[in-house]
Amino acid sequence: MTTDLKQLNKLKKNTRRKEINNEIKFVERLIKISRISKVTKGGKKLSFRAIVVIGDENGQVGVGVAKADDVVNAFKKAKTDGKKNLIKIPITKSLSIPHNVIGKFGACNIIMRPSIEGSGVIAGGAVRTVLEVAGIKNVIAKQLGSDNLLNNARASIVALKQLTTKSQVSKKRDIIIE
């Protein structure tokens, strides 16, 4: 009887370990760390702002921004902010986006177009980082307007949110017709 209980406890422990190991592994990429100084009555107060892109390289991506007194804490806070803002995007079999899309955020405009397999990510700055962390391997992107890294990253997230698949479009059309 006691051996049965021991075996049962071992089974329970093993299942817990498996659950912990099944968590999604996220890739974090630092876009920029800014040093911010605030002038106060007693002198200058120094802090840091981190912009981080987080994703699973399989269609999930998010951008996080945070400030802290040191770089490590700013990075950690930005990472948790990125996890809160994750979005799911559709990816084609050729690891590209389904259709052309334009994203606008502030003064930044991002144009994204699907590309043939093997062409790679043709984009610059923060847009390239967002696309790579999202798991998109073949795309052409152009950023227009401002070259602000945070706004470009957010504009690319806005563009990726607009992506839809054929099945999603057909479902919407069936609902509207009926």
Task: Specify the 3-state DSSP secondary structure of 144.
Answer: strand
User: Residue 66: inside a domain, yes or no?
Assistant: yes
Q: Are residues 110 and 76 in the same domain?
A: no
Domain boundary among 35, 57, 84: 84
Task: Give the C-alpha separation, 87 to 63, whole Å.
Answer: 10
Cβ proximity of 87 and 112 under 8 Å: no
Reported residue count of the chain is: 178
Q: What is the CATH number of the domain that holds 160?
A: 3.30.230.10
Task: Give the C-alpha separation, 64 to 85, whole Å.
Answer: 7
Q: By percentage, how much of the chain surpasses pLDDT 90?
A: 72
Cβ proximity of 115 and 92 under 8 Å: no
Q: Are residues 109 and 156 in the same domain?
A: yes
**pLDDT tens, position by position, 74-118:** 999 999 999 999 999 999 999 999 999 999 999 999 999 999 999
Q: Are residues 60 and 117 in the same domain?
A: no
Q: Which of 51, 79, 55 is nearest to 65 (CA)?
A: 51
CA distances from 36 to 44, 47, 112, 170, 175 (A): 10, 5, 33, 49, 51
User: Residue 20: inside a domain, yes or no?
Assistant: no
Angle, helices 125-134/149-161, rounded to nearest 10 degrees:
40
Number of domains within the chain: 2
Question: Which single residue is written with the structure tokens 């911010």?
Answer: 36
Domain boundary among 68, 84, 100: 84
Q: Which domain holds residue 34?
A: 27-84
**pLDDT tens, position by position, 38-59:** 999 999 999 999 999 999 989 9
Q: Are residues 71 and 127 in the same domain?
A: no
**Predicted model pTM:** 0.81
User: Residue 73: inside a domain, yes or no?
Assistant: yes
User: Residue 19: inside a domain, yes or no?
Assistant: no
User: Residue 2: inside a domain, yes or no?
Assistant: no
pLDDT at residue number 169: 81
